[in-house]
């Protein structure tokens, strides 16, 4: 399953705090711009920016952070993300002709990838360390 998401990148160097609000509204400051989103449409594959979604995101973001009304929009885009009902973070050992392969799955974040991936990465690294310390396979991590 995929979800469609819409994002805006605005120039707002004064903003230094991550904010999350109603209906998947988020404001994420970066080093040179601020990402504002979003929307979530399951099984939608139209990657054209919808004026309706764009206006709704803008309205919710302005309520959350009124100073963004003066921030110029640098770009706007639509993307697709794989989505699962539950994010998968799990180790797996696969037998192959080359030997045992250690795999750590970390996917299915959907529209929450930018906010949840750092946390799930911590769990993925723990799984990787456990696989490595168990001496399975021949990895030289």
pLDDT digits (tens, 9 = 90+) for 5-50: 777 899 999 999 999 888 888 899 988 899 998 887 777 788 888 8
- Closest residue by Cα to residue 118 from 8, 18, 3, 15: 18
The torsion angles phi and psi of 100, rounded to 5 degrees, stand at -80, 130
Element at 78 (helix H, strand E): strand 73-96
Is the backbone peptide bond immediately before 105 cis, with ω within 30 degrees of 0?
Answer: no
Residue pLDDT, tens place only, 43-98: 778 888 888 989 999 999 999 999 999 999 999 988 877 777 788 999 999 999 98
Can you give the pTM of this predicted structure? 0.63
Q: CATH: 3.30.9.10, 3.40.50.460, 3.30.465.10, 3.40.630.180. Which one for 2-81?
A: 3.30.9.10
Domain boundaries defined on the chain: 2-81, 85-133
> Distance between CA atoms of 117 and 59, rounded to whole angstroms?
27
List, in sequence order, every beta strand (DSSP E) within 97-139.
99-109
């Amino acid at each position: 399953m995929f979800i469609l998401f819409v994002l805006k990148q605005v120039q707002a160097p004064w903003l230094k705090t991550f904010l999350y609000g109603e209906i998947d509204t988020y404001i994420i400051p970066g080093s040179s711009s601020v990402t504002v989103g979003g929307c979530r449409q399951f099984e939608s594959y139209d990657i054209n920016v919808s004026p309706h979604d764009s206006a709704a995101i803008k309205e919710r973001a302005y309520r959350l952070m009124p100073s963004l009304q003066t921030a110029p929009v640098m770009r706007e885009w639509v993307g697709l993300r794989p989505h699962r009902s539950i994010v998968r973070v799990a180790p797996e050992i696969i037998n192959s002709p080359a030997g045992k392969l250690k795999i750590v799955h970390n996917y299915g974040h959907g529209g929450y990838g930018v906010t949840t991936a750092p946390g799930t990465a911590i769990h993925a690294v723990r799984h990787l360390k456990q696989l490595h310390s168990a001496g399975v396979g021949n990895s030289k991590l």
